[in-house]
Amino acid sequence: MPWQTTQPNPPASVTTLAGMVNASVSTLQEEAKGTATRLNTAPNPTFTQSPSFARSAGSGDALTALADLLGAPYHFLVAHPWQEGVGQSVVHKHQSARDYLRYLSAANAVEAIANKWRDINDTQLPQHTVEAVVIVLAATNLRELSDVLTRFCAVFPLPELIALQQRCAQLNTLSSDKKELPEPAINTPWQTRNALQFGAASASYNTLTQGLTLAHAAEQELNPVDELTQLAAKKGAAIEQYQQAVSALTNTAASGQGQALFLNADSPSNLANTLHASLSEPQAPAHNKALSVGVLIAAPAGGLTFVKQALGL
């Protein structure tokens, strides 16, 4: 076969299937319209109210309240050892070592966050009545800090904290990784793929699968009673799966331990003063752990309900 100019086109098999699906779905659409007409003209139908009706009262309001609870906007602020002007580096003759060996105590992390609230040049600083939660994650070594951040990011996946966790994990193994160089490839390796790993083919598969599933259901020629019975069985299975998910929901919020403080102030300066004063309390974060991360989550008054509940405040 000689070389020739080619251009990607929809495969004939996909085009054929698309035509078959369109024909079948069009018939199903007409059937659905006819079914709706017959149901509307049924003589004196009687219905039995579902027993779950009474227990479901107020579910619409609860759904709105859930959306308001989880959709409240937050402001996040992070202080960690590798930030310029926040973390401190050890005295070393090599610049790379000074960048690698950095530290920040828990108390200094809180102080850095308090100072941020005093920054009058920060145009994004909230100016309204503010609620804030300050969280301190402290560790004595890079591995411990990486583990703490991994657990915390499972609940609050802040981009800066995810990047920080990856940095800690990389620095923790840096000394050994420099000695473990990967072997170079000596030839072109074989790789295994299928068409579903290509974007266009995957989109075609997802679209055609839905249509073919509808056509296959019509092919079964079920009578209405059997069809409703199967639908009820699927609904029961879905409800059982949902109940299992609800039972396991509390486990997804396990993020380890740390220190947290809830603050409420009518201005950024008052919040900074309150946060600074909190460092003199007996249980306040101290300087006993050299690798610490401070996280501040702020919102207008009443906006931190979910965060406070998640942290047990």
Structure confidence at residue 289 as a pLDDT band (50, 70, 90):
confident
Which tokens belong to 160? Answer: 């800066």
Question: Which residue, among 151, 152, 132, 21, has the nearest Cα to 74 in the 3D structure?
Answer: 132
Question: Which residue, among 31, 25, 16, has the nearest Cα to 211 in the 3D structure?
Answer: 25
Domain limits for position 272: 70-173+251-311
Number of structural domains (the chain) is 1
Q: Is 261 domain-assigned?
A: yes
Mean pLDDT of 272-283: 77
| Residue scoring higher pLDDT (265 or 297) | 297
Q: Is 103 domain-assigned?
A: yes
In the prediction, which pLDDT does 182 show? 65
C-alpha span between 258 and 101 (Å, rounded): 23
For the whole model, what pTM was predicted?
0.61
Q: Is 7 domain-assigned?
A: no
Q: Is 201 domain-assigned?
A: no
DSSP code at position 120: T
Dihedral of CA 288/293/299/304: which sign? Answer: negative
Which tokens belong to 70? Answer: 């989880």
Q: What percent of the chain has pLDDT over 90?
A: 0
Angle between helices 159-172 and 142-153 (to 10 degrees): 150
Taking only the tens place, the pLDDT of each residue in 142-167 is 888 888 888 888 778 888 888 888 88
Taking only the tens place, the pLDDT of each residue in 211-265 is 777 777 767 666 777 777 878 888 888 888 877 777 666 565 555 566 777 777 7
Q: Is 121 domain-assigned?
A: yes
Listing DSSP states for 46-115 in one string gives -----TTTGGGTTHHHHHHHHHHHHT---EEEEE-TTSTTTSEE---SSHHHHHHSEEB-HHHHHHHHHH
Q: Are 268 and 127 in contact (CB under 8 A)?
A: yes
C-alpha span between 59 and 133 (Å, rounded): 30
Query: Residue 305 burial (CB < 10 Å; 0-12/13-18/19+)?
Result: middle
Q: Are 260 and 313 in contact (CB under 8 A)?
A: yes
In the prediction, which pLDDT does 158 show? 84
Mean pLDDT of 110-117: 83
Q: Is 288 domain-assigned?
A: yes
In the prediction, which pLDDT does 92 show? 53
- Whether the per-residue pLDDT at 94 is higher than 60: the answer is no
Structure confidence at residue 185 as a pLDDT band (50, 70, 90):
low
| Residue scoring higher pLDDT (48 or 229) | 229
Q: Is 164 domain-assigned?
A: yes
Q: How far is CA 4 from CA 1, 7, 11, 108, 299, in A?
A: 9, 10, 18, 68, 63
Write phi, then psi, for 62 (nearest 5 degrees). -65, -35
- Whether the per-residue pLDDT at 177 is higher than 70: the answer is no
C-alpha span between 268 and 170 (Å, rounded): 36
In the prediction, which pLDDT does 70 show? 73
Question: Which residue, among 41, 40, 118, has the nearest Cα to 77 in the 3D structure?
Answer: 118
**Bridge partner list, 309:** none
